Amino acid sequence: MSVLDTKVSIAGQPAGVESARVRIRELLPLVLMFELPIAGILQPIPDPSSPTIQHLSQTYNISVSFKQRSRTYGATVMIRGSQNNASAVKEGTALLLEHLAGSLASAIP
pLDDT tens digits for range 55-97: 999 999 999 999 887 666 778 899 999 999 999 999 999 999 9
Q: Is 5 part of any domain? A: no
On whether the pTM is more than 0.75, the answer is no
CA distance 65 to 48: 6
Please write the tens of the pLDDT for every residue from 36-60: 876 555 567 888 999 999 999 999 9
Q: Is 98 part of any domain? A: yes
Q: How many domains does the chain have?
A: 1
Q: Quick check: 38 and 73 in contact, CB under 8 A?
A: yes
Q: Is 14 part of any domain? A: no
Domain harbouring 87, CATH code: 3.30.1370
